[in-house]
Amino acid sequence: MRWMVAVISAHCQKMAGSHSFPCKSIAFKWIASAALLLVAAFATARPLAAEDRLDLKRPIRATTDLVFAEVNGEKIRADIYRPDDSTSQPGVLLIHGGAWSAGDKWNMRDHARELAQAGYVAVSINYRLAPKHKYPAQIDDCRSALKWMHQVAGEYLIDTQRLAVYGYSAGGHLAALLATDPIEGLPRIKVAVLGGAPCDLTFVPEDSRVIAHVLGGTRAELPQVYRQASPLTYCTGDDCPTFFFHGQSDLIVPPESSRIMFQRLKDLGVMTQYYSVEKQGHLVSFIHPTARQAAIEFLNKQLRSEP
């Protein structure tokens, strides 16, 4: 399946660069990215076969399709992956990408399994998608998931004093909002991992409709909505430690969109780290093993180190 990722990626980039192709635009790149991330999930995720279990750092167990919220009759579900033991462990809320309009919790399965093997309770969620559901439906669902994690912490042995968020692409954007714009009454996020994340939506040209299907209009039409939906808007010195990873050659979400938030947090004195995935784009950075391992190491340092 890995060859499929390479072929589709090359084909999409060729189309995006073609003068005859009408979608030579940021919009095309976002949509192509969503499709490629889905292919990547097929390419990298495998069932828990017997030979896989023998290689695990520790046994894990999964509980899937749990309903954590219901909005107007639509059930929103989560999968939980955790060590197969009876110990309380830090929780990590995983948020998939897909341009806020595609994707599924299953796309983050490999990441969730890695986290469970590393001793975390990984909660991978769905959320309502655009264009049927406009923003802020997506972040509302993420906040509902965070509240639900606290409610079921006893059943799934989640240490709610040690909670993290982890998202990629559009999921990275939503994770960044959870971390920087906390809502009273919700558990406090202690660490954020943001991969390929658009942290400043004001990079979108004023008249572009690339995410109008999500936010309800262009930036020229709704400047305040774009600002309110940008995690960069909410950065303060009280924000949690944050790990960024981003493809150096990302043509879909410009690295500057996450680097600007990294620099803002650094200037505010927040513990932060930026991992640039050398010579790689949006897709490969999502499945890049070294970047993912660096993210786990950052989580370990922040959530497991002795005071």
Under the banding of pLDDT at 50, 70 and 90, the label for residue 305 is: confident
3-class SS at 199? coil
For residue 86, give Cα distances in angstroms to 41, 61, 83, 91, 147. Answer: 29, 11, 8, 14, 22
| CATH number, domain 52-303, options 3.40.630.10, 3.40.50.720, 3.40.50.300, 3.40.50.1820 | 3.40.50.1820
Give the pLDDT confidence score for residue 108 in this predicted structure.
98
For residue 94, give Cα distances in angstroms to 23, 80, 189, 268, 277. Answer: 31, 10, 13, 26, 20
279 pLDDT exceeds 90?
Answer: yes
Domain boundaries, the chain: 52-303
Tokens of 266: 């650094």
39 pLDDT exceeds 60?
Answer: no
pLDDT in tens, 173-229: 999 999 999 999 999 999 999 999 999 999 899 999 999 999 999 999 999 999 999
Strand order in the sheet with 242-247: 60-71, 74-83, 121-125, 89-95, 158-168, 191-195, 242-247, 272-277
